[in-house]
Amino acid sequence: MTSTPRAPVLGAVLLVALCLPGCAALQQFAALSQVDFQFDHVSDVRVAGVAVSGKSGYGDVGAVDVVRLAAAAASHSVPVDLVLHVRGTNPAANTVTARMIELGWTFFVEDRQLVAGHLTEPYVFEPGQPTDVPIAVHFNAWDQFGGGAQSLFELGLAIAGVQGYSKEIRADLVPTIDTSLGRIRYPTPITVRRTVGG
């Protein structure tokens, strides 16, 4: 599990913050700049509506679901749905609560960009209390990878972290915070990644 080096990002954030007229805005911006975002886990993976949970391979898929997956692959429409969980931790030593009002995100598998979106639900990061930020991801696996029902279902197994189906998952995150001067967008994306499965 890795994230991008934070020193250049924090330098840019603090440079912007120092240019802001107003101590409150500076504190709010600096507070979010100290929140550490990490890849936590992936849950609720479904391929063409077939749940991956509880399955260790394509052989565990029932006959009805095999037909469903085959029909989806034949129609070139194989939706994959999942929830990517990012953990945001505001250091206990930071006395300011960070408030994020929006999060732009881009989702990758093996450095292939699959989909991008925005969270508009606000999140508050209290000092010393890790906060789960769930991101609902949806994309058409056939458009991105092609292949048949088995290979596309195995993609879902890999994303879910099932042993034997290794993939690197990555997300680029761009938080926006609310300050006394209005919305301020994070100047540099934060990258979180993990190789799942194995």
Pairing of strands 190-196, 98-109: unpaired
Q: Which of 144, 32, 172, 50 is nearest to 98 (CA)?
A: 32
* Rama region for 182: left / alpha / beta (φ>0; ψ in -120 to 50; rest): left
Is pLDDT at 3 greater than 60 in this prediction? no
In 3-state terms, the chain is what percent helix, strand and coil (to 5)?
Answer: 30, 45, 30
The counts of H helices and E strands in the chain are 5, 11
CB 58 within 8 A of CB 154: yes
Tell me which of 50 and 197 has the higher pLDDT.
50
Which pTM was predicted?
Answer: 0.82
Amino acid at 106: T
Structure tokens at 176: 């926006």
The 10s digit of each residue's pLDDT in 138-179 is 999 999 999 999 999 999 999 999 999 989 999 999 999 876
Query: Strand 112-119 vs strand 98-109: parallel, antiparallel, or unpaired?
Result: antiparallel
State the pLDDT at residue 20: 44
Which tokens go with 5?
């080096």
Burial class (CB in 10 A: 0-12, 13-18, 19+), 85: middle
- Identify the CA nearest to 135 among candidates 54, 41, 198, 16: 41
Distances (CA, A) of 27 to 32, 83, 103, 135: 9, 31, 19, 27
pLDDT tens per residue, range 16-42? 444 444 566 666 666 667 788 999 999
